[in-house]
Amino acid sequence: MKRKDVAVYEDILKSNVAAAAEVRRRMRERGVLTVNLMSSPGAGKTTLLERLVEKLTPPGRLAVIEGDIETERDAERLRAKGVPAWQIQTGGACHLEARMIGRLLDELPPDLDFLFIENVGNLVCPAAFDLGESLRVVLLSAPEGDDKPKKYPKAFLTAQVLVLSKADLMGLLPFDPERARREALEVNPALEVFRVSALTGEGLDDFVACLHRARAKLTPEDGRHA
């Protein structure tokens, strides 16, 4: 990377830090837990959100911002569940940025408890950009393989929660959940790890309890959980 390119990238990151701080401040003042969901494409983020709608009731207390390169398909799926959902189409960009989230804050319902941001499917670029979240969750699905934490460490290093998704397939594929858990914890020993199937419901209640704990621990000082 050339020196000029490095300087531009550093400016983008610096600007993003300021935008993220403003998002965090505004959501903190409202008592909203903002959750940034990251994963490779197809790991099950949208399906997990559909199940969370059923668990985090009433639906009016949560909203979703979807990030994709094109289409509104994921937002449409959540709207069909009665959830306010906004789609950000990046037009080729491999991640969301905090300024994109900030532009939507005035449109959010006034009585939210949870705001979920489904990031663009990617384990690399999104890890570098704070969106103003209070909780960062990374999904690793059984079809992807259990070696990803060491191959894409920043996504796991910057998260607080790891969801091993599509648990219903783990007995059918060469995926060792214990290896995935062990290597993720070697990258980030502070990770909370949950084995979840959005289809069968396995592990969902434990993950939902984690979300409630995180919201209850939001601090007035910085919007992050204590």
pLDDT at res. 14: 75
pTM (predicted TM-score): 0.91
Domain ranges of the chain: 3-216
pLDDT at res. 21: 97
Q: Which CATH number fits domain 3-216: 3.20.20.140, 3.40.50.300, 3.30.420.240, 2.60.120.10?
A: 3.40.50.300
Buried b (16+ CB within 10 A) or exposed e, 121-142: bbbebbbebbbbbbbbbbbbbb
pLDDT digit of tens for each residue in the chain (226 aa)? 565 543 444 546 678 999 999 999 999 999 999 999 999 999 999 999 999 999 997 766 999 999 999 999 999 999 999 999 999 999 988 999 999 999 999 999 999 999 999 999 999 999 999 999 999 999 999 999 999 999 999 999 999 999 999 999 999 999 999 999 999 999 999 999 999 999 999 999 999 999 999 999 986 554 443 3
What backbone phi and psi angles, to 5 degrees, belong to 208?
-60, -40
- Integer-rounded Cα Rg, in Å, for the chain is 17
Q: Locate 68 and state its tokens.
A: 């994709």
pLDDT at res. 9: 42
pLDDT at res. 185: 98
Contact 124, 13 (CB under 8 A): no
pLDDT at res. 58: 75
pLDDT at res. 15: 85
Residue 83: CB atoms within 10 Å = 21
